[in-house]
Amino acid sequence: MSDAKAVADRLVKAKRLNALLTPSKDLRKSLAAQEAAARPTGVLYGMPVSVKDNICTLEFTTTCGSRILEGYQSPYEATAVAKLKAAGALIAGKTNCDEFAMGSSTEHSAYGRVLHPLDKTRVPGGSSGGSAALVAAGAVPAALGSETGGSVRQPAAFCGVVGMKPTYGRVSRYGLVAFGSSLDQIGVFGRSVHDAARVLSVISGRDPRDSTCEDRDPLRLPTVPESLQGFVIGLPREYFPAELDPAVRRACERAIRLIKELGAAVREVSLPHTPYAVPTYYVIAPAEASSNLARYDGVRYGPRFNGSADVRSLYRSTRGQGFGAEVRRRIMIGTYVLSAGYYDAYYKRAQQMRALIAQDFRNAFDRGVDLLFTPTVPSPAFKAGEKLSDPIAMYMSDIFTVTANLAGLPAMSLPIGRVKGLPIGGQLIGQAFLEDEMIEAAYALERVVPATEEA
């Protein structure tokens, strides 16, 4: 009983961050019930894991940070959540996020922004800002988030925690509310590489309910290596541009030195189509989103905004008022790029560019590189409100992360330093379905990198 209470207490203490959407009363009640029912033989027995509010749970509502799903109780749970429970974990509430996972700061939530745990004037990143903040604040050891363009890695970097995105198809998307279907994956935050990896292993594996989930066994975790002897780490020059924040550059250079000291060979590579990654992403993701969000129409679930004389008014007022500005903007862009006359110029062209981006990675890996190392984000956590006036400025935050989503590759961020107290993240990008190599390298780096030291 005391564990559930302690968990609840820690989460309630972190309330000021506005990271948790679940009311304290509901949280306490549910945790107590879950603890009683939890399987003692599970590998995650008793571990509290918070879940981003765009992942369906039977415990607690699923709002996706939106008014259009205010109060929505899902009648089914995501496969990933079911697997957590089967492993004995406790679902420790639902976390705040950018509405429908669209954003890079969690400022686009209909339920208020999330505060950065170390500096309340700053954003924790997004869209999984709530999950990142709770783990960083020590309220839970791990949390689920989701990735479409970097929504786990970027907040992990901003908040100074570990954030992992699996290979596309490694973790079932059944129950993850779709944003960009060909990009989406459930990801994991952890205090350590081990915490994050353990949870990722549990939620991974085949699921007949998701046709894009590969028919594979769950991820097997590697052991912590002695060194990185035999590893070849590639440094893509496009990820170290001249404009890179000097502190970020210093932190990365320090990490690279440590990687070499661990015995890895380090090599410069080129991913020439990188400059096109963000525009490619901002065609494909909104296009898929515009279609995925068509189901939110007030007919079958969620609130209705306005009784209405006829069904089209019902749609338009529900969607016009239920969706926030960023979501509406992306739906509009997505609808436009798919519409007659524009499909070839935008969507089709973006899918071709995507192929070239994926090919860049294959070329690098084919030349004997095992993993790539890059900064996760060009600069540390920015101030709330700083990037709201220009949507493109916000999009540029994803510049180092979207490529892994476009190519479907596993990637992760781990803390590699600080600048004026703000965390900096270093990113590893791995080969498809070789998460174990990526995690192995992360284990080694984590042991030696001075994550909380100024760079």
Partner 1 sequence: MTTAAWETVIGLETHVQLRTKSKMFCGCATAFGAPPNTQVCPVCLGLPGALPAPNGAAIGLAVRGALALGCTVHPRSIFARKNYFYPDLPKGYQISQFDQPLATSGTLSFVSAERGFVTATIVRLHLEEDAGKSVHDRFPKATAVDLNRSGVPLIEIVSGPDLRSPAEARAYLQTLKQLLEYIGISDCDMEKGSLRVDANVSVRRAGETALNTRTEVKNINAFSFVEKALTVERDRQIALVESGGSVTQQTMLYDSKENTVRPQRSKEESHDYRYFPEPDLPPLVLTPEFVAEQQSELPELPAAKRDRFVAAYALTREHATVVTSSRAVADYYEHVVHAGAEPQAAANWVMTEALADAKDHQEQLRVAPGALAQIIALVKGGTLSNQAAKKVFGEVAAKGGEPRTIAEALGLIQVADSNVVAGWVTDVLGAHAPEVGRYKNGETKLMAFFVGQVMRASKGKADPKLAQRVLEEKLAS
Partner 2 sequence: MSVSRDEVLRIAQLAELDVDEDALPELVDNMSRILDYVAQLSAVAANGTVKAFVPGPDAIRFRPDEVNPPPLAFGPAEFAPAFKEGFFVVPKLDQFE
Site for partner 2 in 339-368 (CB under 8 A): 339, 345-346, 348-359
- Residues 6+ away with beta carbon under 8 Å from 386: none
Give the range of 30-38, 103-111, 164-172, 194-202 binding partner 2 by CB under 8 A: 164-172
Between 6 and 33, name the residue whose CB sits nearer to partner 2.
Answer: 33
Site for partner 2 in 179-208 (CB under 8 A): 182, 208
Q: Where are the strands (E) in 224-327, listed by range?
A: 232-236, 265-269
What is the Cα–Cα distance from 35 to 41, expressed in whole angstroms? 13
| 313 binds partner 2, rule: CB under 8 A | yes
From 30, 50, 52, 85, active-site residue? 52
Q: How many CB atoms lie within 10 A of CB 384?
A: 20
What is the Cα–Cα distance from 423 to 415, expressed in whole angstroms? 7
Q: And the tokens for 343?
A: 């499909």
From 50, 127, 131, 204, active-site residue? 127
| DSSP assignment of 43-71 | TTTT-EEEEETTB--SSS---TT-GGGTT
Site for partner 1 in 198-257 (CB under 8 A): 208-212
Site for partner 2 in 363-402 (CB under 8 A): 390-392
Burial label for 367, CB within 10 Å (0-12, 13-18, 19+), is: exposed
What is the Cα–Cα distance from 260 to 232, expressed in whole angstroms? 10
CB neighbour burial string for 72-101, b if at least 16 within 10 angstroms, e if fewer: bebeebbbbbbbbbebbbbbbbbbbbbbbb
φ, ψ for residue 147, nearest 5 deg = -120, 135
Site for partner 2 in 61-90 (CB under 8 A): 72-73, 75-76
Q: Are 76 and 56 contacting, i.e. CB atoms less than 8 angstroms apart?
A: yes
> Minimum distance between the CB of residue 108 and partner 1, rounded to whole angstroms?
18
Number of residues that bind partner 2 (CB under 8 A): 77
Give the range of 35-43, 73-81, 194-202, 395-403 binding partner 1 by CB under 8 A: 73-81
Between 40 and 341, name the residue whose CB sits nearer to partner 1.
Answer: 341
> Minimum distance between the CB of residue 54 and partner 1, rounded to whole angstroms?
8
Burial label for 3, CB within 10 Å (0-12, 13-18, 19+), is: middle
Of 143, 124, 126, 150, which is closest to residue 189 (Cα–Cα)?
A: 143
151 part of the active site: yes
Contact letters (x/-) for partner 1, 286-325, by CB under 8 A? -xx-xx-xxxxx-xxx---------xx--x----------
Contact letters (x/-) for partner 1, 37-66, by CB under 8 A? ------------------xx-----x-x--
What is the Cα–Cα distance from 409 to 149, expressed in whole angstroms? 12
Task: Name the binder of 177 from partner 2, partner 1, none, CB < 5-8 A by kind.
Answer: partner 1
Contact letters (x/-) for partner 1, 175-194, by CB under 8 A? xxxx-xxx------------
What is the Cα–Cα distance from 233 to 427, expressed in whole angstroms? 12
How are beta strands 371-375 and 232-236 bridged, if at all?
parallel
Task: Name the binder of 237 from partner 2, partner 1, none, CB < 5-8 A by kind.
Answer: none
109 part of the active site: no
128 part of the active site: no
Between 269 and 314, name the residue whose CB sits nearer to partner 1.
Answer: 314
Q: How many CB atoms lie within 10 A of CB 383?
A: 12
Between 109 and 397, name the residue whose CB sits nearer to partner 1.
Answer: 109
Name the one residue in this structure whose structure tokens are 């095992």: 370
> Minimum distance between the CB of residue 346 and partner 1, rounded to whole angstroms?
11
What is the Cα–Cα distance from 278 to 167, expressed in whole angstroms? 19
Site for partner 1 in 328-347 (CB under 8 A): 335, 338-340, 343, 347
Applying CB under 8 A, which of residues 246, 320, 368, 385 lies at the interface with partner 2? 320
Site for partner 2 in 16-55 (CB under 8 A): none
Between 249 and 329, name the residue whose CB sits nearer to partner 2.
Answer: 329
Binding site for partner 1 (CB under 8 A): 55-56, 62, 64, 69, 72, 74-76, 78, 173-178, 180-182, 208-212, 287-288, 290-291, 293-297, 299-301, 311-312, 315, 335, 338-340, 343, 347
Residues designated catalytic: 52, 127, 151
